Amino acid sequence: MLKGRSVLVTGSTSGIGWGIAKQFAKAGARVMLHGLEGEADVTHLKAELGRYSSEGVEYTAGDLSSENTCKDLVDRSRKLLGGKLDVIVNNAGIQYTARTEDFPTEKWKAIMGICLDAPFFISKAALPHMYQQKWGRLIHIGSAHSHVVNERTAFTIIELLAKPSPHFLQFYISRHLQTNLRIVLPSTVFLGCLVRLH
């Protein structure tokens, strides 16, 4: 169904991202995995996806809190996935829970960098290429915390801030043929990125 399409899924070595990457591979797409692990640590993941897709599976490690890293990820994905990038799933995220008055500033900035800034920087780097090829899909994985208030999580505020942003972006990219954006809110799952204080 997706043979010939090139897909980047951030935060895709485990959890929701891994599940998404696997489904794209099963549909026949070329897939770029992304995470923080070394190349040797994801060999088995690439091998598993390779059983589903004959189009190819690649991996790039990188901390998405840097705009340069986000741009490099997009550029490397295009280079290794046949010279184009059709679909991007902004899935990477980190979490830390604490009451507002106890929340460490460095944790707040780190979560904002990965969950809010990175999807913007990746979209910024990818959209000119999608416009040029007249086709593209941006998929942002959100959180139920954009609808449920929780005083112990930064996700509540971040998701409330992030929620309007894709709609604003969609207003502009909708002018370009066959390039659009979707937001997905998965149901509750246990995530390894969740770190509790107590």
Per-residue tokens: 15: 């959890």
CA distance 120 to 117: 5
Query: 74-106 burial by CB neighbour count: b if 16+ within 10 A, else e?
Result: bebbbebbeebbbbbbbbbbbbbbbeeeebeee
Domain holding 10, by residue range, is: 6-100+117-150+161-184
Quick one: pLDDT band at residue 67, thresholds 50, 70, 90? very high
Residue 141 domain-assigned? yes
pLDDT at 27: 94
Quick one: pLDDT band at residue 195, thresholds 50, 70, 90? very low
Residue 112 domain-assigned? no
pLDDT at 47: 95
Residue 192 domain-assigned? no
pLDDT digits (tens, 9 = 90+) for 158-185: 555 554 455 445 544 555 545 555 556 5
Query: Which DSSP category does 14 fall into?
Result: S
Quick one: pLDDT band at residue 15, thresholds 50, 70, 90? very high
Residue 64 domain-assigned? yes
Quick one: pLDDT band at residue 142, thresholds 50, 70, 90? confident
Per the structure, the count of domains in the chain is 1
Residue 19 domain-assigned? yes
Residue 189 domain-assigned? no
Q: The domain that contains 22 carries what CATH number?
A: 3.40.50.720
Residue 48 domain-assigned? yes
pLDDT at 30: 96
Tokens 């959100």: give the residue. Answer: 142
Largest CA distance in the chain: 51
pLDDT at 125: 96
Residue 193 domain-assigned? no
| pTM (predicted TM-score) | 0.83
The percentage of residues in the chain with a pLDDT greater than 70, rounded to a whole number, is 72
The answer, yes or no, to whether residue 115 has pLDDT greater than 60, is yes
